[in-house]
Structure 1
Amino acid sequence: MRHAIFLLTLLLLAHPAPADWLREEADVMGTRITVELFHSDPEVAQQSIEAVLEEMRRIDASMSPYIESSELARLNAAAGHAAFKTSGELFSLIERSLHFSELSDGAFDITFASVGFLYDYRKSKRPDAGQLKEATALINYRNLILNTDQKTIRFNKPGVRIDLGGIAKGYAVDRCIGLLQQRGIRQALITAGGDSRMIGDRWGRPWTIGVRNPRNEDELVAVIPLMDVAVSTSGDYERFFEEDGVRYHHIINPASGKSASEMQSVTIIGPDATTTDALSTTVFVMGLEAGLQLINRMPDIDAIVVDRNGELHYSESLQPAKKMDAGVNPSAQPVSD
């Protein structure tokens, strides 16, 4: 359920940034973090970028399931045996994750990790039939018992694991945008893998977001100018391997414990990155018809979907965007994370 990196392509104009614009990149949270912002005071701009990267590292240290000392890893190790007291931050994000589980009737489910850890995409490793059946039986967000007053979480079955990869990067992006706004930054872009949020404009023009072809990294399927929104993309081609003509990738269908197979990529546009992050995974798992029906019921949320056959689809309020495809500037060079 973690978002694929590289699916969201940021098209940056070819001419160099003015002196008052700063851009830096770093590898945090298992992905490439990009920060670009404007402030008339270079010292404020530099300090703001450093604050963003520090916040990204803090969240990674708390919420990565791969860091043994992280709060999430300690929760996974303990909550199957006894209630684990969490920080307010982690508790709130898990609560929000469960909201998306309820909204999607379980298509978004952070307990996917109960089977997800059995896959190793670098080594082309997947669970056998027996392992898959046993582990998939543990996937159910209702296996999490939350005590709101005490801020404790307990798993009602041993072996349950959670992973916030489908929402934590979006949350981190939102947190960092908030830090920039507190420092007086009004024009900025923050990207964490497939999750981005932008405030203000870029050199007096909207930020231009391009969605790449899931089967051709040099080709774009849509280009949209945007301001003051978040964008997240989930797809099947960043962490995957193929075996006997089957693509095994990291976006797990909680119902089967297997890779979701109805989509190639899903891009969601909305007001905040926590929401778009979760919804891009949700729609990917739900499939074309059910996924777009969900998005069309939600105010201020839009979707661009590439289905399993490579066909492009838009949510209802984005239909006019189809006309923009022919207007892509062939000289624009996509910059991947």
Structure 2
Amino acid sequence: MIDANSSTITTIITTSKAYTFMRIISLVIMLFLSLLSSNAAFAQWHQKSFDVMGTLAHVEFWLPDTAESSTAESLIAAVEHEMQRIDQTMSPYIATSELSIINRDAATKTVAISPELFDLLTDAQDIAKLTNGMFDITYASIGYQYDYRKHQKPDQAAINNALKAINYQAVMLDKSTSSVRFANTDVKIDLGGIAKGHAVKNCISILKDASIEHALISAGGDTTLLGDRIGRPWFVGIKHPRADDKTAVQLPLSNESISTSGDYERYFIEDGVRYHHIINPKTGDSARNVVSVSIIGKNPTFVDALSTAIFVMGLQQGMALINELPEYEAIIIDNQQTLHVSTGLQQD
């Protein structure tokens, strides 16, 4: 199932540390697809890449010759609109988003929220419980003090003070009123480890509802595949964590979701130490047990969150958890850049 260090790459869906590099990758993907498809077949594939949620998103799907061109255009527009809607709802950088309103008000009063956001916060708590708090959206209580572009990080005193607010149980949900309140006045939440998976899940549902049978939706490191690529699998590449122009492994997948978390996406190095955006909620510092984690499964939302949690947990603890979850598989690259796979992948 795994073709490591392959030189033939059909499709690479990944996130790089440089945003411009992501744009180049998108163009390369489209070039390969055009070379690997006949002119007649390629005319049936419709695709678009666009900026959203602080990353590059991509939609691609197949329509029969009998479909009108306006159908493809309307589906692409619907996917793009849905991702933009979720960004407007869940971005911590948009002052009017539901998430920003929660962070502003929930420490002092109960905040009524949409059923969609309530359900996502419930999912986040379920995954926090499953991972013993290694996935914790309240990491933002210290996370907002990091600025990777400016190479800024909080000092240890600030981290120690913020740790008291990092506790997923401090996010109190009331299903009867679809509301949330924080138990601690210093609590902040961020959905960066779960929102893109949720967006991809919603967008693939849009295509399913339109009777699309072969499609790919991605947002940064989160990808969901609907069906195969007309008689052959989709090939999804996992980026080499220390070489921008290489893939560590490529995977033939169909009807699966995959999410990759890596320490190369947003980071800076100071005094030889890499500070990146995947924060260990137990320490308030960047997690450094591994360098890349990819999770494969059916649920894009859970795959997204689990890739973050397993990254924080590290190789031994993280792989032990995945091997207890038969519906998920993992590929972990450790600090020595050695690739490890879960039990289910070893059987193929």
TM-score in same-fold range (> 0.5) = yes
Q: Is 1:31 aligned to 2:52, yes or no?
A: no
Distance 1:216-1:320 versus aligned 2 partners, 3 A rule = farther
Equivalence for 1:285: 312
In structure 1, what residue type is equivalent to 2:330? Answer: A
1:203 CA displacement: 3.4
1:51-70 superposed matches below 5 A = 51-70=78-97
Q: In the alignment, what sits opposite 1:259?
A: 286
Aligned counterparts of 2:346 and 2:240: Cα–Cα separation in 1:
18
Instruction: Find runs of 4+ consecutive structure 1 residues off by over 6 angstroms.
Output: 7-11
Residue equivalent to 1:275 = 302
- In the alignment, which residue of structure 1 is the partner of 2:176? 149
In structure 2, the residue corresponding to 1:153 is in which secondary structure? strand
1:296 aligns with 2:344: no
Give the TM-score taking structure 2 as reference length.
Answer: 0.88
- Equivalent residues in 2 for 1:65-80, closer than 5 Å: 65-80=92-107
Q: 219-228 or 161-170: which moved more?
A: 219-228
What is the identity, as a one-letter code, of the residue corresponding to 2:321? Answer: L
Partner of 1:328: none
Equivalent position of 1:49 in the other structure: 76
SS at match of 1:216: coil
CA deviation string 1:197-245 (max 9, x = no partner): 0101113210001112100122222111110000000000110000011
Bigger shift: residues 210-219 or 51-60 = 210-219
Structure-to-structure mapping, 1:82-101, within 5 angstroms: 82-101=109-128
- Describe how 1:66-215 pairs up with structure 2 within 5 A: 66-215=93-242
1:226 matched to which residue of 2?
253
1:22 & 1:36 partners in 2: Cα distance?
6
CA distance in 2 between partners of 1:201 and 1:317 (Å)? 20
SS of 1:74's equivalent in the other structure is: helix
- Counterparts of 2:146 and 2:15, CA distance in 1: 18
2:288 match: secondary structure: coil
- Unaligned 5+ residue runs, structure 2? 1-13
In the alignment, the residues of structure 2 paired with residue 99 and residue 73 of structure 1 have an alpha-carbon distance, to the nearest angstrom, of 22
For 2:36, the aligned partner's letter is H
Match of 1:6 in 2: 16
The residue type equivalent to 1:30 in the other structure is G
The aligned counterpart of 2:46 is: 22
1:253 aligns to what SS in structure 2? coil
For structure 1, which runs of at least 5 residues remain unmatched after alignment?
322-337
In structure 2, what is the Cα distance between the partners aligned to 1:116 and 1:307?
24
The 8 Å contact of residues 214 and 230 in structure 2, kept in 1 or not, is answered as no
Q: Secondary structure at the match of 1:259?
A: coil
3-state DSSP class of the match of 2:274? strand
2:232 partner letter = R
> Which residue matches 2:11?
none
| CA-CA distance at 1:87 after TM superposition | 0.6
Q: Secondary structure at the match of 1:36?
A: strand
Q: Distance in 1 between matches of 2:175 and 2:133?
A: 21
Q: Calculate the aligned-residue CA RMSD, in Å.
A: 1.6
Letter in 1 for 2:303: T
CA drift at 1:320: 5.0
Structure-2 separation of matches of 1:320 and 1:33: 32
Deviations 1:261-285 (A, max 9, x none): 1010000100021111011001000
Distance 2:57 2:246 in 1: 22
1:280 counterpart letter in structure 2:
S
Give aligned-pair identity as a percent. 46
Matched AA of 2:118: F
Query: What is the CA–CA distance in structure 2 between the aligned matches of 1:68 and 1:89, rounded to whole Å?
Result: 19
Deviation of the 1:6 alpha carbon: 3.4
Q: Distance in 2 between matches of 1:125 and 1:219?
A: 29
Distance 1:62 1:175 in 2: 14
Q: Once the two structures are superposed, what CA deviation does each residue of 1:57-76 show, in whole Å capped at 9, x if it has no partner? A: 00000000110000010011
Is contact 2:16-2:264 (8 Å) kept?
Answer: no
What's the counterpart of residue 318 of structure 1?
345
Helix, strand or coil: the match of 2:148? coil
Whole-angstrom distance in 2 between the partners of 1:6 and 1:197: 18
What TM-score comes out, normalization by structure 1 length? 0.91
